[in-house]
Amino acid sequence: MNIRKKLILCMILLAIPCSALGEIYKISMIPRHSAEENLKIMSMLAKYFSSKTGKTIEPLITRDYFEFEKALLSGEIDISIENPTVYVRVTSMHEVIASAVDNLGGGMVRGLMIARKGGSIKMLSDIKGKKVCIVGKTSTAGFLSPKLKLSGEGIVVDKDCTLVEAVENKQENVIFSVLAGDADAGFIKESAFHKADEFIPPGSISVIGEGAWLPNDAFSVKKTLPQDFKNALFEAAKSLNEFDEIMVGLGLSSWRSAKDSAYDSVRAALAQ
């Protein structure tokens, strides 16, 4: 093919609308892992859902919870896995089609309140007036769940404690902060308790209480996606099991059908 023909072909391709060439959909997930881990899991998800739906799906990486939520609200993300707190904040753009199930709490999730072994905090009441490291204000298990539990104990963490967010909103960074003495206590997701075991002395961190149970992660899609595409995504998610590499990476055992009302308890908790 000579240069003139190549130029004409390029001009024709550029003139064709993206929809005619095949639309590209973006998939993302809440960045609770390292960028490398997130990319690995999302790349597997993109490949899997592309093969199951016949659509072109690509991963979209965000740096932190704030950037992730912003991308959801701006419409950049078509398919997403997010915690319940973020989900109820983005329902103007997204709708849940499935809810996560794991081997710890089934369809529910909770946080843990941790402290240094041998430190000044022995029980929940000792948290009052202390510095507490949380995953982030938009973390369900790493903030909202413990906050609800402590509220029942008469402690309003936003007022009665000094709250600091973990670096990059990472669960393990809460543990490191508590161990180093940068915080007196920490809030983490229950499944993350052993996440930093290879880096810390055995038995150096204690659980001083469990948070309230709340609905597990949401698998959501942009509301404007075609219904047949949404159905195909749900069927593909439902066919995954706990032994699939994707689910191992996510720390989940399965996905089950869910409606928006399943997260009303989260809305109520956020309103407190």
The pLDDT of residue 2:
54
What's the pLDDT score for residue 268? 92
Tokens 């993109």 sit on residue: 46
Q: What is the mean pLDDT of residues 220-225?
A: 98
CB 211, CB 187: distance < 8 Å: yes
Query: Rounded to whole angstroms, how far apart are CA atoms 116 and 181?
Result: 8
pLDDT at position 181, please? 95
State residue 20's pLDDT score: 39
Q: How many CB atoms lie within 10 A of CB 220?
A: 26
10 Å CB burial of residue 203 (0-12, 13-18, 19+) is: exposed
73 to each of 56, 259, 260, how far by Cα in Å? 21, 19, 17
Contact 145, 211 (CB under 8 A): yes
Give the per-residue pLDDT at 19. 39
Sequence-separated (6 or more) residues with CB below 8 Å from residue 197 = none
Does the pLDDT of residue 96 top 80, yes or no?
yes
Structure token digits, residue 194: 């052993």
Tokens of 133: 């490291």
Average pLDDT of span 8-15: 42
d(CA 201, CA 232): 46
**pLDDT tens-digit map of 129-162:** 999 999 999 999 999 999 999 999 999 999 999 9
More confident call, 10 vs 167: 167
Q: What is the pLDDT of residues 28-83, one digit of tens each?
A: 999 988 888 899 999 999 999 999 999 999 999 998 889 999 999 999 999 999 99
For residue 35, what pLDDT is reported? 83
Report the share of the chain in percent with pLDDT over 70.
Answer: 92
Write down the pLDDT at residue 12: 40
Instruction: Please check whether residue 129 is in contact with residue 160, taking contact to mean a CB–CB distance below 8 angstroms.
Output: yes
Question: For all residues of the chain together, what is the average pLDDT?
Answer: 91
pTM for the whole structure: 0.85
What are the pLDDT digits (tens) for 197-216?
Answer: 999 999 999 999 999 999 99
